[in-house]
Amino acid sequence: MEQFRIAGGKKLYGRVQIARAKNAVLPMMAAAILTDEPVVIRACPHITDVFAMAGILTYLGAVCEYREGDLILHPQGTQNKPLAQNLTGGLRSSVCMLGALLARFGSASIAFPGGCKIGTRPLDLHLGGLAAIGVHTHVDEGGLHSERTHSGGTVRFTFPSVGATENVLLAAALGEGETTIYNGAREPEVEDLARLLSAMGGDVKWKDGTYRIRGVRRLHGATFLPVADRIEAGTFLCMAASAGGEVQLDGVNEKFLTPLTEKIAGNGCKIYREYDRIIISRKDDLAAAGDVTTAPYPGFATDLQAQYAAVCATAKGTTNICESLFESRFAYAAELARMGADITVTHNTAHITGVPKLHGGTVFASDLRGGAALITAALGAEGETLVGGCKYVDRGYDNLVGKLRTLGADIRRLII
C-alpha cells in the first residue's frame, strides 16, 4: 500500500509546466487505429490511464512506445478482437474503442467500461448517437456488441456528453456517409480530437457544439501536440489557493479555466493572465465567493469541484457546491471532515462553512479528483496528513509529487 505524506502549512512558490491533457490523449489513442500509419502524440503524460489504453491497443495488435516524451503508436497490425472486462474495467475512456473499432472494422464487442466510482454514467447517449448513424447494438451481461449497417446520419444529443460525442466522431470518420452532430460536447479536449482527425486527413468541421463529418476512405498518420490539461492546471490553482504563496502555471490557456479563476479571485486570490500562463498569488485569508454548480463546458468543470471544495473549506463564509453531472462525486467530503472541515452533503449539494484552519490526519482517496482534493486540503492544513489511494491520483497526474516539491511543498510518497 502507498500513501502521500504531506506536512502542511508551507506556502508554494515557483513555476510549473502543465502537462498535456489526459482527457484529450485517451480518445486520440483510440483514433490511432483508424489508420495503418504511425500516430505520434507529442509530450504524452506518463499516467496509468495512458498505460491502460496502451494495453488495450497492444492487445489488439498495435505497438506503443514512448520516445523522448512522445507516445508513438504503430497501428498497422491492429485486429478486431473482443475487449474483455480485464481490459476495459479500469478505464472509462475504453468506451472510445467502440467507435474506433466500428469505423475500422464495421463491428465491435467490448465489455462495459470502468474508471472511478463517481456515479452510474449510463451509455444511453453513446448507443443512441451511434444508432442514429447506422449502428445496431446488442447489450447483454458481457457488454456491448455493435455492428454497422450503414454510414452517416443526424445525431441530436439531449445532453452534450463528452464520451458520446467522441464515439460518434470516431465512428463517422471513415466511410461514405455524412454525419451531423447537434448539441455535441464543446470541451477543448473533444475539439482537439476533431483537430487530430482533420490532421489525419479527415473531413471534420465544428462550431459551438455542432460537428459535421464527411466520412473518407482512409486516414493517414499524424504528429500531434494535444491541448494542455486544464484540469491539472485548475488543480494547481486550487493547491496554491489552499496553501498560499505565488505560483506560475506555464503552457495553459486561461480561457479554458475562467469559471474557476473567477471564483478563486473572489476568494481573495490575485490572478494574473498572460498569453500562455497564469500566475496566482494568495497572501490574505480566504473568503467565500458564492455558490457553484457544475456544468458542461464552458461551465464550471465537474473534474474541479472536489479540489475547489478543499479551497472553500477554509474560506470564511458558506459555499454550496451543486454537482449536476454525477450523483456520487462527494466521497471526499467525509475525508475532509476528518481534517476538520465543516462540510455536509444533501442530495447533490455540498454545504461548506469555512473554518480558520484544517488539521492533518489519515484520509483515503476513492477516486482521482477526490484524491487531488485531499492533497489540496493537506497542503494548507496544520500538521501531517497521510493520503491513501495513490493509485487513483496516478491515473491523471504525471509526477505530481515532483512538481509540488519544486514549489516547496513537503510531500513524499511512502510505501507501507
| Residues carrying an active site annotation | 116
**Residues β-bridged to residue 35:** 219
Q: At residue 320, what are phi and psi to the nearest 5 degrees?
A: -110, 125
Residues 218 and 174 sit within 8 Å (Cβ to Cβ): yes
Residues 144 and 136 sit within 8 Å (Cβ to Cβ): no
Residues 78 and 100 sit within 8 Å (Cβ to Cβ): no
Amino acid in the structure at residue 240: A
Distant-in-sequence, close-in-space partners of 48: CB < 8 Å, separation ≥ 6: 391, 394, 395
Distant-in-sequence, close-in-space partners of 17: CB < 8 Å, separation ≥ 6: 250, 251
Amino acid in the structure at residue 375: I
Amino acid in the structure at residue 27: P
DSSP per residue, 138-154: EEETTEEEEEE-S--EE
Amino acid in the structure at residue 381: A
Q: At residue 342, what are phi and psi to the nearest 5 degrees?
A: -95, 85
Determine the Cα–Cα distance for residues 233 and 378; give it in Å rounded to an integer. 18
3-state SS of 1-17?
CEEEEEECCCCEEEEEE
Lookup: cell for 360: 492533518
Omega of the bond prior to 75 within 30 degrees of 0, cis? no
- Please give the sequence-ordered ranges of beta strands (E in DSSP) within 149-235, or none if there are none: 153-156, 178-182, 203-207, 210-214, 222-224
Rg of the chain over CA atoms, in angstroms?
A: 21
Lookup: cell for 296: 458542461
* Cα-Cα end-to-end distance for the chain: 6
- Nearest Cα to Cα of residue 233 among 305, 304, 336: 304
Determine the Cα–Cα distance for residues 113 and 86; give it in Å rounded to an integer. 10
